[in-house]
Amino acid sequence: MDYLTMQLQKEKEFENACGRCGNCCGRQEDPCMHLLIQADGLCICDVYFSRGGMQKTRSGKFFECVSIRDILHLDWPGNWTCAYKKLYFAKNNASL
């Protein structure tokens, strides 16, 4: 397997780990205006591939949308449901 193929595979595995809870996007408090909650309760971002940078919450507050990798060490409302955070803490032998 070449390097590019391996990187694409790792990226796909990382993306697939998301449980789509929406809590990293403010679902528990003031959600991003691009966070869509589907009928099954799972969330998607309607601007996912261009989400980085300044965004706005539903109440009109501005915030900087960053990669989940940049905030795994932080706390946010509902973070205990985050599949990425569970993987991060399992890998680092820590607890939420």
- Give me the pLDDT at residue 91, please: 77
Taking residues 28-43, what's their average pLDDT? Answer: 97
Say yes or no to pLDDT of 34 above 70.
Answer: yes
Instruction: Report which DSSP code applies to 69.
Output: G
Domain boundaries, the chain: 18-91
Calculate the CA 28 to chain-centre distance: 13
Please state, in angstroms and rounded to a whole number, the distance separating the CA atoms of residues 89 and 72: 9
- Give me the pLDDT at residue 13, please: 86
